[in-house]
């Protein structure tokens, strides 16, 4: 194992073997392993204030020291798997669970602040904006919840299939559905703004919004949609299997993995393909993360890959997990010369 120092960067990723890994972002060497969860981790980790927050299929939410891998606290209220990826905002951790609840948990102590019931499992990741928590549930509903009280603000239940994690941009909430549609909903009222009906297959990919365009994958294609009108800008038909992963957009390039194990880099403006990285022999179902010229992505073969953003060539591969990686990596850097803080408390999310 290696020790983190100020100026270093780390990648945090969970795996289906029930472990959370911290990996040196530049070399691919393991920093530490947190192996307390007894079941798979399909919740993507989040890092804030020197702590990694992650859910597990054992029904717990864990807070782990980002530098040492030691458990700080464990939230055990959910009675079923926590497959939702936590969101950290304003000193609270917001997360859904398969028991049909959305929880707000004190980020420092692990104590429950509130719990709001949905009518079905909540496996999607919450999004927090302007004092409201937005989350999709398997009961085909998008919920808007007051972040302080847990009271419902509105619900949107037009989809006829389970919905993805919502994305908030401007005054709209964007969400995909198993009913083969993408929806834009007014963030303040919950009223539908538009429906994009072109996907020929289910939409399990959470939308990503950049420069007024919504990027989303289906089981048939990758789409770019005008965020204001809902009109298609371009689409790419996939030659084999579809997309479950949410796209990642950085500097005008869309990075997205697919179920055939390919990672694509596509021009956001035109849809033209820059490169394809197709080394993984297993699926890619979670978003890639871009940081400092490198794209990090996990695959079904139990490997985390680091790929050059410009070239699409592999830089390193971390293959210690004994089962597939279904979580999005989180990359943080330890900053030097931050007044009034030590390196651990200066971790910044990427």
| Residue 67 to residue 55: CA distance in whole angstroms | 18
16-49: pLDDT as tens digits: 999 999 999 999 999 999 999 989 999 999 999 9
- In eight-state DSSP terms, residue 6 is T
Whether the Cβ atoms of residue 218 and residue 200 lie closer than 8 Å to each other:
yes
pLDDT value at residue 8: 81
> Does 3 have pLDDT greater than 70?
no
SS3 state at 346: helix
Domain 9-349 maps to which CATH number in 3.40.30.10, 3.30.200.20, 2.130.10.10, 2.40.10.10? Answer: 2.130.10.10
Residue 294 pLDDT: 98
Q: Which residues of 241-258 are buried (b: 16+ CB within 10 A; e: fewer)?
A: ebbbbbbbbbeebbbbbb
**How sure is the predictor about 344, in pLDDT bands with cuts at 50, 70 and 90?**
very low
The domains of the chain are located at 9-349
203, 198, 213: which is closest to 244 by C-alpha?
203
One-character DSSP codes across 163-220: B---EEETTEEEEEBTTS-EEEEETTT--EEEEE---SS---SPPEEETTEEEEE-SS
Q: Are 15 and 37 in contact (CB under 8 A)?
A: no
pLDDT reported for residue 164: 95
Distance CA 75, CA 60 (A): 6
d(CA 264, CA 153): 38
| pLDDT tier at 200, thresholds 50, 70, 90 | confident
For residue 342, pLDDT over 80 is answered with no
- Is residue 336 predicted with pLDDT exceeding 90? no
Residue 234 burial by Cβ neighbours in a 10 Å radius (0-12, 13-18, 19+) = middle
pLDDT tens per residue across span 78-107: 999 999 999 999 999 999 999 999 999 999
């Amino acid at each position: 194992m290696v020790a983190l120092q100020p100026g270093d960067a780390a990648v945090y990723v969970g795996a289906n073997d029930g472990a959370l890994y911290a990996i040196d972002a530049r070399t691919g060497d393991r920093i530490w392993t947190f192996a307390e969860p007894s079941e798979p981790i399909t919740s993507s980790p989040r890092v804030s204030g020197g702590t990694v927050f992650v859910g597990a299929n054992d029904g717990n939410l864990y807070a782990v020291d980002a530098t040492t891998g030691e458990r700080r606290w464990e939230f055990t209220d959910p009675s079923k798997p926590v497959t939702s990826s936590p969101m950290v905002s304003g000193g609270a951790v917001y997360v859904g669970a398969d028991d049909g609840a959305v929880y707000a948990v004190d980020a420092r102590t692990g104590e429950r602040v509130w719990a709001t019931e949905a009518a079905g499992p909540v496996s999607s990741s919450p999004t927090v904006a302007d004092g409201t928590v937005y989350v999709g549930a398997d009961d085909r509903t998008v919920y808007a919840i007051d972040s302080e009280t847990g009271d419902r603000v509105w619900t949107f239940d037009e989809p006829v299939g389970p919905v993805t994690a919502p994305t908030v941009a401007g005054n709209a909430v964007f969400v995909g559905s198993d009913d083969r549609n993408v929806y834009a909903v007014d963030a303040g009222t919950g009223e539908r703004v538009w429906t994009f009906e072109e996907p020929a297959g289910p939409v399990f990919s959470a939308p990503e919004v950049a420069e007024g365009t919504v990027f989303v994958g289906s089981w048939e294609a990758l789409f770019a949609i005008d965020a204001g009108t809902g009109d298609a800008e371009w689409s790419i038909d996939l030659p084999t299997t579809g997309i479950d992963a949410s796209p990642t957009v950085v500097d005008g390039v869309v990075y997205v993995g697919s179920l055939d194990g390919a990672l694509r880099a596509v021009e956001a403006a035109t849809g033209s393909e820059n490169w394809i990285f197709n080394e993984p022999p297993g699926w890619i179902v979670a978003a890639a993360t871009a940081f400092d010229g490198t794209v990090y992505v996990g695959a079904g073969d139990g490997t985390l890959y680091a790929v050059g953003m410009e070239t699409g060539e592999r830089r390193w591969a971390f293959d210690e997990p004994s089962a597939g990686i279904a979580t999005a990596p989180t990359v943080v850097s330890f900053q030097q010369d931050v007044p009034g803080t030590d390196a651990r408390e200066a971790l910044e999310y990427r």
